[in-house]
Structure 1
Amino acid sequence: MTEIRTPRLLLRRWNDDDLVPLSEINADPEVMRWIGDGSVRDLDDSAGDIERWEEEWDDEGFGLFAVELLASGELIGAVGLTVPGGLPEFSHEVEITWRLGRPFWGQGYASEAAHATLEFALQDRGLDRVIAINRAGNDESENVIRKLGMVADRDTTHPEYGHLLQVHSIDLTEYDA
């Protein structure tokens, strides 16, 4: 089982106990406003997310981690790697992405987990390049992307929702663990 420990977090595969806390995170309109079309997700949608992320782990050797606080064992969100779905121009890329519950914003957890995930991608999984796709205006995610050392790659428009997406990237030659 793949696990990563950081000073405050455990990044691990998903289990049945994660469904309800993830669905609570996904039901928060503030959390979801930058994701997809901005719609909240219910229990069934959240179960589908976990199933899809676990399948990606099995198929690709990477996926989204469940992120929990080491101190309490509480699930605070998801951070990991994925092949961007619904964006055909990026189907050959691997994206780093994150989604944390609102009570855990502004405490450095996203940056801590994303940094560990990026190290995992480039050093453990041997990926040469990782991208981050950020919806324009999501300054909090932009800040995490900058902390990872990623650079602006290009802008594009979401093919279904029409909003501006900013694509950033980093490759192994630029990564500074």
Structure 2
Amino acid sequence: MGSENGDSVEQIAILTPRLIIIPTPTAISFNPYRALYSDLHATVDFCQMGFGHHFPARAWSDEETCDVIQARDIERCWQRRGLGDFAVGLRGPSTFEPDNHSKQKGDMTILKGNDYIRVAGLNNVHLASCEWVGYAGLRDATTTSMPPREPGDPVLPSWVEMIELRYGVSPKFWGQGIAQEASKAIMQWSIDERGVKRFIAETERENSRSAKLLQKLGFTLSGTNYWKEPSELEWECAAK
């Protein structure tokens, strides 16, 4: 997808049995996805579970939502490493079917080029009308979410071993395995396409829901202190 540094982002779609997953440099143009993203961050339960009490819920305007996605994800993540957030939508029982030429691996299919255009429609018209339910993302934590390193801190491994997994799903879809299905797909994609060697994550200590999800994905408690937040647990998972 584009160059190694993310200077350009090729349009792709990842299909899983239930989901269609699109990089946010494409999905930012979809009004329904921006509305969903804004609604998530205006929902108290979502913000408290995912970010803790230090991230208050607040309704963003559409302009603010665009600015946040552009600055926080596209510029800091996709343009630097060719990794970032993906919009997660529902496929429906018979929508977005791949053909025999699409690249398939396990339970996911990657659509590129003409295959992508065939599914997405002219100017992504088919994708824009999807029911978007959340996001799942991968980012180099050393250049995004981690605090600056200080004298005496251990030397960090290569960035391909410091890829942070993040996800967020609308509360009305909680408990349906959507975050797990989407995360598994983008993790495999990043191993195959970006050479990722290790994943990390952090959760609020009381967020047992995310802890169980990470364990299902193969994560274990790492004992690291990358984020230096006593209220958080840190996790890791070697690429397979």
TM-score norm. by structure 2 comes to: 0.65
Aligned-pair CA distance for 1:28: 0.4
| 1:28 match | 43
- Give the letter for the 1:123 counterpart: D
Indicate how the Cα distance of structure 1 residues 157 and 39 shifts in structure 2: closer, same or farther if over 3 A, else same.
farther
| 1:7 match | 17
Which runs of 5 or more residues in structure 1 are unaligned?
Answer: none
Aligned-pair CA distance for 1:145: 0.3
| 2:135 match | 78
**Residue 178 of structure 2, aligned match among 109, 113, 116:** 109
- Give the letter for the 2:167 counterpart: W
| 2:60 match | 43
**Residue 232 of structure 2, aligned match among 156, 165, 168:** 165
Matches of 2:67 and 2:56, distance apart in 1: 15
Matches of 1:49 and 1:7, distance apart in 2: 30
Aligned-pair CA distance for 1:158: 5.2
- Give the letter for the 1:12 counterpart: I
Identity rate, percent: 26
Whether the 8 Å CA contact 1:111–1:144 is kept in 2: the answer is yes
After the TM superposition, list the runs of 4 or more consecutive aligned residues in structure 1 that deviate by more than 6 angstroms: none
**Residue 73 of structure 2, aligned match among 49, 53, 58:** 53
After alignment, is 88-97 or 19-28 more displaced? 88-97
Matches of 1:62 and 1:108, distance apart in 2: 23
Aligned-pair CA distance for 1:96: 0.6
Aligned-pair CA distance for 1:107: 0.4
Which runs of 5 or more residues in structure 2 are unaligned?
Answer: 1-10, 93-128, 150-155
SS in 1 for 2:78: helix
Number of aligned residues = 171
TM-score norm. by structure 1 comes to: 0.86
1:21-74 deviation digits (Å, cap 9, x = unpaired): 210111100001131623114325533331121222122111000111112821
SS in 2 for 1:43: coil
Matches of 2:185 and 2:40, distance apart in 1: 22
SS in 2 for 1:24: helix
